[in-house]
Amino acid sequence: MDFKNNEMIADLHLHSRFSRACSKNITIPELVKWAKVKGLNLLGTSDFTHPVWLSEIKDLLVEKNGFYYYQDFPFILSGEISLMYTQEGQEIKSLETNSTSKIRRGRRIHLLLLVPNLEAVDKINAYLDTKGRRDYDGRPIFKIPGDEFVREMMKISKDIEVIPAHIWTPWFGIFGSKSGFDSLKECFKDEIDNIHAIETGMSSDPPMNWRIKELEDKAIVSFSDSHSFWPWRLGREATIFNKVNSYEEIIKQIRENSFVATIETDPGYGIYHYDGHRNCEFSCSPEKTKELGGLCPVCKGKLTLGVDYRVEELAQNKIGFKPENAKPFYKLLPLHELISLNLGFGMQSLKVWTVYNDLIKKFETEFNILLNVSREDLIQKEVDAKLIGLILKNRVGNMKVIPGYDGVYGIPILS
């Protein structure tokens, strides 16, 4: 598949240096530099709600057809919003009075926003300023219900795309075990038709999401939620679009579910796939969690329930169900992980960087290496035989990973 001529690989969910727990060295030029090394063709600006970062966006990027260019590289205006509020939940019946009432539950969700132009950005920020502050974090928190937020976005522009982010992560995914929701409808109510897509997040893949009946008419997209510009973070998950040159055409592909495919990591590579306790260094499968009654055998506290458990809890469709409109996907680990596994040194070590840089010099981009370069070409360029085996094994999604849990990344292993 020739991604250069026919498709564009996009990572539309990332963060600036102004978001918490993110690299303080993130700049627009650095993002572009490493996006080109990775083989990405389109990025989200991220964090347009932050005043300083927005000022840099306005100073450095030039608009054409809703794409915002740094030199020759296009961005889409994007940002992530955290909504934290309480909302009535399911009815409960009092045994004493025989009456029913609805309990109020805490709700916590992250939403990815794609925005058509700076005029709409300014209107969004003006609206948010009536609800709280934006200057303390690139991913600001507001006490706004999900349906109200979407309604207000649609008033500003029908071209704004609201995508529930990393929908299964325990604390801020809409289906997460601690987020407070069991369905999109419960969150977005009458605005549900204005939700056209969901983001898988690293700890789930499309087949896991296919098991949720409510998602059968929603597009399933993937982006990295990267907190740095390094190539083992940026673009680790992405969406492959038919090549276009405007915001409108990208949004059309999302809303019509007509993009090409997604790039996913192995779900086990994500930091919330299995259940467990990070501080106790304990993790387990959903089956084991049930045997343990949901309690950690080390500290006896409640385990953090991961994505695998939660999918099984909410699934209506059987394992293996595939919707008619399902998109193909590639299950890939970053190239740094493969080199690190091959050499036995950390991903950020000089030895790993030396091999990585040599491969990029020979084959131009990481995605070209991961997806396209033939065995024969790898051999001809004198790539290590064991690494060639890992690259080809990774290409068909056959790498083995010890599942991540409670904020701990999964660990690729040789098998």
Question: What confidence score (pLDDT) does residue 98 get?
Answer: 60
Q: Do 332 and 395 form a contact (C-beta atoms < 8 A)?
A: yes
> Over the chain, what is the mean pLDDT?
95
Question: What confidence score (pLDDT) does residue 89 get?
Answer: 62
- The domain made up of 3-267 is a member of CATH 3.20.20.140: yes
What is the rounded distance in angstroms from the CA atom of residue 292 to the CA atom of residue 300? Answer: 10
The per-residue pLDDT for range 133-172, each reduced to its tens digit, is 999 999 999 999 999 999 999 999 999 999 999 999 999 9
Mean pLDDT of 98-113: 79
Q: How confident is the model at residue 94 (pLDDT cuts 50, 70, 90)?
A: very low
The per-residue pLDDT for range 362-392, each reduced to its tens digit, is 999 999 999 999 999 999 999 999 999 999 9
In this predicted structure, the answer to whether residue 5 has a pLDDT above a threshold of 80 is no
SS3 string, the chain, reads CCHHHHEEEEECCECCCCCCCCCCCCCHHHHHHHHHHHCCCEEECCCCCCHHHHHHHHHHCEEECCEEEECCEEEEEEEEEEEEEEEEEEEEECCCCCCEEEEEEEEEEEEEEEECCHHHHHHHHHHHHCCCCCCCCCCCEECCCHHHHHHHHHHHCCCCEEEECCCCCCCCCCCCCCCCCCCHHHHHHHHHHHCCEEECCCCCCHHHHHCCHHHCCCEEECCCCECCCCCCCCCCCEEEEECCCCHHHHHHHHHCCCCCEEEECCHHHCCCCEEEECCCCEEECHHHHHHCCCECCCCCCECECCHHHHHHHHCCCCCCCCCCCCCCEEECCCHHHHHHHHHCCCCCCHHHHHHHHHHHHHHCCHHHHHHCCCHHHHHHCCCCHHHHHHHHHHHCCCCEEECCECCECCEEECC
- Show me where the domains of the chain are located: 3-267, 335-398
- Across 372-381, b (16+ Cβ under 10 Å) vs e yields bbeeeebeee
* Residue percentage of the chain with pLDDT more than 70: 95
Question: What confidence score (pLDDT) does residue 96 get?
Answer: 54
What is the rounded distance in angstroms from the CA atom of residue 366 to the CA atom of residue 347? Answer: 15
The per-residue pLDDT for range 267-294, each reduced to its tens digit, is 999 999 999 999 999 999 999 999 999 9
Greatest Cα-to-Cα distance within the chain, rounded to the nearest angstrom: 80
For the chain, the distance separating the N- and C-terminal CA atoms, rounded to the nearest angstrom, is 28
